[in-house]
Structure 1
Amino acid sequence: MPPVWLAGALGLAWWQKTYFSQGLSFGPGFADFFGGIFIGGGLILMALAVHEMRRYHTTIIPHQTASRLVSSGIFKRSRNPIYLGDVMILTGFILYWDAVLALPLIPVFFWILEKRFIEPEEEGLRRKFVADFKRYSQQTRRWL
């Protein structure tokens, strides 16, 4: 489950800032402000996506078969707004905590989401909603 991976990455970032900070910092004010923006933006993206999926009565659980292809609302901008929200939340906490050495967690987490969740889910959607998913994937980017 992606929330478990997010919690693990957040735990590693917190551990790094607490026990292995090495005196590194992003700078005063900058990190707190942008960290808050990323965290808040990620939560908003996730809430909009969950609302849209519930509106269409389809699952938000990874690897379950979707009953409908949702391409409206926030899904017009990103095919994976919940995963994008996860990455934004991780980035925000790394900034907010001044966990400079945890920055490599962001691309690693991004890659894990892509390989373990996004690619298999999109393959399932491609098989179930052949023409609709092809059109949707041509019109809407995977991330942004």
Structure 2
Amino acid sequence: MLKTLLRWIDIPPGWLALSAGAAWGLDALVPGLGFGWGWSRLVGDGLIALGLGAMGLAFWEFLRARTSVIPRQVPTAFLKRGIYRLTRNPIYLGDAMVLVGLILHWDVLVALPLVPAFAALITRRFILGEEAGLIAQFGDEFIEWASKVRRWL
């Protein structure tokens, strides 16, 4: 049962949920850690919307290419148009934007260090392996594209 639970958690949305839960829990356990800035809720909502939008645009490209969005699968298509002209990982970038947005919305700014920790974890657990798979599958085409398009933003 623990192995099944860990398999479900060890996916990017699982790590996003755990990170968001940690931010929310920090706010719930130690109230008053925010700064009470009225703008943070509005900016947070905007970042959540932008993050979801980036994810939606990326999913659209996956649908257009008829390839799987599930991490750690062998790539069957090389996505480099649309939002992929701006970032190599729009879904992970969207996840990070949603996390920042939630932290700002909840006004628990002391939880902001969770964002670089989340990005480092996603890079190590998913992105590096996905990039290795793309190099193996598409070689120089991926390497050339990756030299022009940033990993995050």
The verdict on a shared fold, with TM-score over 0.5 as the criterion, is: yes
Partner of 2:64: 55
Q: Which structure 1 residue ranges, 5 or more long, are not aligned?
A: none
Deviation at 1:103, TM superposition (A): 1.4
Partner of 2:93: 84
Q: Are the counterparts in 2 of residues 35 and 92 from structure 1 also a CA contact under 8 Å?
A: yes
Query: What root-mean-square deviation, in Å, do the aligned CA atoms of Structure 1 and Structure 2 show?
Result: 1.0
Measure the CA separation in 2 of the matches of 1:97 and 1:73. Answer: 32
Measure the CA separation in 2 of the matches of 1:109 and 1:50. Answer: 21
Measure the CA separation in 2 of the matches of 1:24 and 1:99. Answer: 6
Partner of 1:8: 18
Specify which of 113, 124, 130 is matched with residue 115 of structure 1: 124
1:42 is aligned with what amino acid? G
Deviations 1:7-63 (A, max 9, x none): 001111111111113x23233321111101110000000000000111001111000
1:78 is aligned with what amino acid? T
Partner of 2:28: 18
Measure the CA separation in 1 of the matches of 2:34 and 2:64. Answer: 43
Deviation at 1:104, TM superposition (A): 1.4
Measure the CA separation in 2 of the matches of 1:134 and 1:113. Answer: 20
Q: Are the counterparts in 1 of residues 19 and 114 from structure 2 also a CA contact under 8 Å?
A: yes
Specify which of 93, 96, 110 is matched with residue 101 of structure 1: 110
DSSP 3-state at the match of 1:42: helix
Measure the CA separation in 2 of the matches of 1:14 and 1:139. Answer: 37
Measure the CA separation in 2 of the matches of 1:40 and 1:29. Answer: 18
DSSP 3-state at the match of 1:122: helix
Q: Which structure 2 residue ranges, 5 or more long, are not aligned?
A: 1-10
Measure the CA separation in 2 of the matches of 1:26 and 1:67. Answer: 47
Identity of aligned residues (%): 43
Measure the CA separation in 2 of the matches of 1:2 and 1:96. Answer: 21
Partner of 2:6: none
Specify which of 50, 73, 88 is matched with residue 41 of structure 1: 50
Measure the CA separation in 1 of the matches of 2:144 and 2:109. Answer: 40
Q: After the TM superposition, list the runs of 4 or more consecutive aligned residues in structure 1 that deviate by more than 3 angstroms.
A: none
